[in-house]
A = this chain, B = another copy of it.
Amino acid sequence: MKLNVKCVMVDTGFTPVVIINHLDAIRYDLHPRDRVLIETVGKREKRKFISVIDISTTDTSVKSGTIGLLAEAQAAIDANDGDVVDVHPAPKPESIKIIRKKMRGERLSEKELDTVVKDIVADELTEIELTYFVSAVSMHDLSLEEVAAMTKAVAKNGCRFNAKRKPVVDKHCIGGIPGNRTTMVVVPILAAFGMTIPKTSSRAITSPAGTADTMETLAKVSLSLPEMERVVAETGGCMAWGGSLGLAPADDKIIRIEKPMSIDAPGLMLSSVMAKKFSVGATHVLIDIPYGRTAKVVTRAEAEALRIHFLTIGKLLNMEMLVVLTDGSQPIGRGIGPLLEARDVMAVLQRAPDAPVDLRVKALRLAGEMLEFCGGVQKGSGLEVATSILESGSALRKMEEIIAAQGKTSPSEFRLGHQRAVVVASRGGVVRSIDNKAISKLARMAGAPITRGAGLYLHKKVGDRVKKGEALYTAYADSAEKIRHVRKYHEELKPYTIR
Q: Contact residues of A with B, CB < 8 Å?
A: 1-10, 12, 17, 19-20, 23-24, 26-29, 31-33, 41, 52, 54, 57, 61-62, 65-72, 74, 79-87, 96, 99-100, 103, 105, 126-129, 131-132, 135-136, 138-140, 204-206, 243, 255-257, 259-262, 444, 449-450
State whether B129 touches A135 (Cβ < 8 A): no
Question: With A260-B96, A261-B99, A450-B27 as given contacts, are A5 and B57 in contact (CB-CB < 8 Å)?
Answer: no
State whether A86 touches B6 (Cβ < 8 A): no
- Note all chain B residues with C-beta closer than 8 A to A8: 19, 61-62, 68-70
What is the CA–CA distance of A81 and B17 in the complex, to the nearest angstrom? 24
- Note all chain B residues with C-beta closer than 8 A to A29: 444
State whether B83 touches A260 (Cβ < 8 A): no
What is the CA–CA distance of A248 and B9 in the complex, to the nearest angstrom? 34
What is the CA–CA distance of A10 and B62 in the complex, to the nearest angstrom? 9
CB distance from A166 to the nearest CB of B (A): 32
State whether B139 touches A79 (Cβ < 8 A): no
State whether A3 touches B32 (Cβ < 8 A): no
A–B complex contacts, Cβ < 8 Å, 14 sampled: A3-B66, A5-B82, A5-B85, A6-B66, A7-B81, A8-B61, A26-B204, A54-B256, A70-B70, A100-B262, A127-B128, A128-B128, A131-B131, A135-B139
What is the CA–CA distance of A42 and B71 in the complex, to the nearest angstrom? 26
Partner of A87, one of B3, B12, B204, B206: B3
User: Can you tell how many copies of this chain the complex includes?
Assistant: 2
State whether A3 touches B20 (Cβ < 8 A): yes
Closest to A72 in B: B70
Main secondary structure of the interface of A (DSSP, over half): mixed
- Note all chain B residues with C-beta closer than 8 A to A444: 29
What is the CA–CA distance of A204 and B31 in the complex, to the nearest angstrom? 11
State whether B243 touches A62 (Cβ < 8 A): no
State whether A260 touches B33 (Cβ < 8 A): yes
Closest to A63 in B: B6
State whether A5 touches B69 (Cβ < 8 A): yes
State whether A1 touches B87 (Cβ < 8 A): yes
State whether A32 touches B259 (Cβ < 8 A): yes
State whether B62 touches A6 (Cβ < 8 A): yes
The residue in A19, A135, A204 that gathers the most chain B C-beta atoms within 10 A of its C-beta is A135
- Note all chain B residues with C-beta closer than 8 A to A82: 4-5
Partner of A128, one of B24, B131, B138: B131
State whether B99 touches A66 (Cβ < 8 A): no
What is the CA–CA distance of A128 and B9 in the complex, to the nearest angstrom? 20
Partner of A261, one of B83, B132, B204, B243: B132
State whether B67 touches A4 (Cβ < 8 A): yes
State whether B135 touches A69 (Cβ < 8 A): no
State whether B87 touches A5 (Cβ < 8 A): no
| 9 extra interface residue pairs, beta carbon distance < 8 Å, beyond A2-B85, A33-B260 | A1-B24, A3-B20, A5-B85, A7-B68, A7-B74, A54-B256, A70-B70, A135-B135, A139-B139
- Note all chain B residues with C-beta closer than 8 A to A12: 17, 54
CB distance from A25 to the nearest CB of B (A): 9
Partner of A5, one of B4, B84, B259, B260: B84
- Note all chain B residues with C-beta closer than 8 A to A129: 260-261
State whether A450 touches B69 (Cβ < 8 A): no
- Note all chain B residues with C-beta closer than 8 A to A20: 3
State whether A86 touches B1 (Cβ < 8 A): yes
- Note all chain B residues with C-beta closer than 8 A to A23: 450
- Note all chain B residues with C-beta closer than 8 A to A3: 20, 24, 65-67, 84-85, 87
